[in-house]
């Protein structure tokens, strides 16, 4: 059963680096291990695999905090390196060992050069509730992009 809705978010953030550098850091399993969890690669239990081709998958397991375990599977629908990625996301999480509702959504990420870096734009639709959308818009995406920016600045 498809539970996705049109409920979505849109946000933009400028990151250091060229579109190629930002795209590669966003899609590289090695780079994801460094930036995906706020707890770091080891305490965050970060594991990722990337098959960067249309129909391929980005699969990640990580702990954003000690109580929450996230398993994300994003299937690549469009890839225009280094400017655009379109994926369908299925996210299964558990809090303290108890399963949470599965999130199925559609994600479009674009990478555009600016005078000082790359403008990353994110559009995500399919949230079942405004509360979950608001969490992704105010916390999950901004924190993830902050960690990605820090990782790029340290490379």
* DSSP codes joined into one string, 72-86: EEEEEEEEETTTEEE
Determine the pLDDT at residue 2. Answer: 46
Weakest-pLDDT range from 18-27, 33-42, 139-148: 33-42
For residue 55, give Cα distances in angstroms to 87, 137, 138.
9, 26, 30
Determine the pLDDT at residue 5. Answer: 60
Determine the pLDDT at residue 29. Answer: 95
| Global confidence as pTM | 0.92
Question: Does residue 119 have a pLDDT over 50?
Answer: yes
Q: Mean of the per-residue pLDDT values for the chain?
A: 93
């Amino acid at each position: 059963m498809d539970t996705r809705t049109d409920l979505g978010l849109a946000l933009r953030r400028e990151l250091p680096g060229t579109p190629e550098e930002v795209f590669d850091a966003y899609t590289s399993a090695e780079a994801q291990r460094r930036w995906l969890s706020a707890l770091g690669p080891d305490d965050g239990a970060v594991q990722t695999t990337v098959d960067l081709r249309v129909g391929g998958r980005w699969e990640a397991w990580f702990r954003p905090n000690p109580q929450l375990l996230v398993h994300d599977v994003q299937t690549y629908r469009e890839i225009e390196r280094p400017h655009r990625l379109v994926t369908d996301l299925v996210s299964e999480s558990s809090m303290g060992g108890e399963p949470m509702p599965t999130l199925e959504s559609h994600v479009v990420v674009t990478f555009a050069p600016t005078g000082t870096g790359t403008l990353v734009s994110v559009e995500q639709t399919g949230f079942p509730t405004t509360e979950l959308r608001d969490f992704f818009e105010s916390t999950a995406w901004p924190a993830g992009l902050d960690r990605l920016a820090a990782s790029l600045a340290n490379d």
